[in-house]
Amino acid sequence: MCVSTARLRRYSDLMTMPDSFIQRQQLDASMADTFLEHLCLLDIDQEPITARNTSIICTVGPASRSIQKLQEMVKAGMNIARLNFSHGSHEYHSETIKNIREAVETITSDPLYYRPVAIALDTKGPEIRTGLVKGVNEVQLVKGSHVRVVTAESERDKTDATMVWVDYPHLPKVLEKGRRIYIDDGLLALKVLEIGSDWVDTVVEAGGLLCSRKGVNLPGCDLIGLQAVSEQDEADLRFGVAHGVDMVFASFIRSAQDVKDVRRALGELGSHIKVISKVESRQGVQNFEEILVESDGVMVARGDLGIEIPAEKVFIAQKMMIGRCNSAGKPVICATQMLESMVSHPRPTRAESSDVANAVLDGADCVMLSAETAKGKFPLEAVAMMHSICREAEAAIFHHQLFEELRRLTPLTSDPTEVTAIGAVESSFKCCAGAIIVLTSSGRSSHLLSRYRPRCPIIAVTRSPQVARQSQLLRGVFPALFHPLPAPVWADDVDSRVKFGMDIGKARGFFKSGDMVIVVTGWIPGSGHTNIMRAVQSVNA
């Protein structure tokens, strides 16, 4: 072990480039020969990665929807703004979208520091919820007490300590004696005793306070009659298309057909919108492969998933889904309770910090904040903390092994763009490049580069605002929106865009003059022609 360690340390000592920001962080560990050596060489005194590669998704709610607060969140690291359509009217969300766009456009006038922010519409999906609590804000369900769960429409607003209404008429048909009903993310648990035509008698196994409109889970039940896209979802998706959202987080996806139903609801006008499938049930996990094929990406939605399957198995599902997404080259989001304690406290627990870091080490492209930024007391601190944890975790990734495994998984290909992407990422490792600059019109080239997980950031120069925003789904991609019209001479246009990428890299501290940079371009205008890769020193570009 000592000999190997000495050899690895010489690897970093041989680097004769100027002091670099990105290349040297945990370099010895990153380029180790074995996983055990990688772990042994991790060093707590090493600086974190300067350019965070993992995107941060923030749920925008009452605590964060003002223009000023949104600007502060963008500065703190927000890349994607999530709108939760389980709550709020269309008028409410329309105003929020307007505020997000105004915040982004007014945060700076310097194109070198412009930060595109994508907008994601999270559908309500086929949820089951309780009704309104009668007369008060909340009611106490006492452990050991008997509660009747009813579905009759006449009882919708009459929930109390002895009767709970739910909006799922088929409830008595899908339950059996001994099954459990979980409410409010599993905080409340009811065990089924007797079943009637439109009621279910239960005993409270886990008590607590019940508020209005809380989510209901029925683990192990075949939920008949629950469509992937409800009438409300269709109206919400039409709203999203009309307001130009960039992506849809489709809730409770259980099969490939569910994804197709979402795309059908988006229609031709919404065909450009990315569909990210939220897998949050046992059925969704079992059908994961077919869901992945039809989706643009996947969200590991651990909240409901942790009720639908045993909590101790959630990490297995998380690692499996992230691994398969990495193998398929599709973005994957890790979500739910990542920094939950920061809803009410300025610092996370040690376990939460490790949870975020391990999601990054597993291979997540994005990590998501929910209540932390939507209604928490410390939304800015939560984003800043997420940013810091991601930087530390990214420096500790075993990049050498990761790239080799991803390359081995790639079948032989005659696609020049993919071949160029593989060569560019390998070259970036060989010269410890400060960045990869890619010129892209459709976003495909930057997507392929991200798939092979370079250590350095990918500066994706594009003229398309939508491509820039949607690129925020991809690990390591820093979209750079280039406004000038195309130059009459193609070569001049390429040079001007590459220079813009170089200027951004220097301005943001990704690299300095003299550092190596990999440049990826096409040989003629248009999409699908990326096949040129060159290594340059930033001072000479």
Write out the catalytic residue numbers: 82, 129, 278, 336
Name the phi and psi angles at 393, rounded to 5. Answer: -65, -40
Distance CA 200, CA 180 (A): 11
Distance CA 124, CA 262 (A): 12
Structure tokens at 256: 């490939």
Q: List residues bridging with 425 in a β-sheet.
A: none
Closest CA to 371 of 86, 109, 138, 170: 86
Distance CA 141, CA 126 (A): 25
Contact in structure between 273 and 244 (CB atoms under 8 Å): no
Alpha helices in 295-443 (DSSP H): 302-308, 314-328, 350-362, 371-374, 379-395, 399-409, 416-430
- Helix/strand/coil (H/E/C) assignment for every residue in 213-238: CCEEECCCCCCCCCCCCCHHHHHHHH
Contact in structure between 427 and 439 (CB atoms under 8 Å): no
Residue type, 170: H
- Helix/strand/coil (H/E/C) assignment for every residue in 432-477: CCCEEEEECCCCHHHHHHHHCCCCCCEEEEECCHHHHHHHHHCCCE
β 215-217/180-183 pair status: antiparallel
Contact in structure between 340 and 352 (CB atoms under 8 Å): yes
What letter would DSSP give residue 464?
Answer: -
Closest CA to 322 of 107, 54, 141: 54
Quote the crossing angle between the two packed helices 256-266 and 231-242, to the nearest 10°. 50
Name the phi and psi angles at 460, rounded to 5. Answer: -100, 105
Contact in structure between 6 and 439 (CB atoms under 8 Å): no
Burial 416-435 (b: 16+ CB within 10 A, else e): ebbbbbbebbbbbbebbbbb
What letter would DSSP give residue 145?
Answer: -
Contact in structure between 439 and 522 (CB atoms under 8 Å): yes
Contact in structure between 247 and 218 (CB atoms under 8 Å): no
Structure tokens at 163: 């009767």
Distance CA 463, CA 39 (A): 42
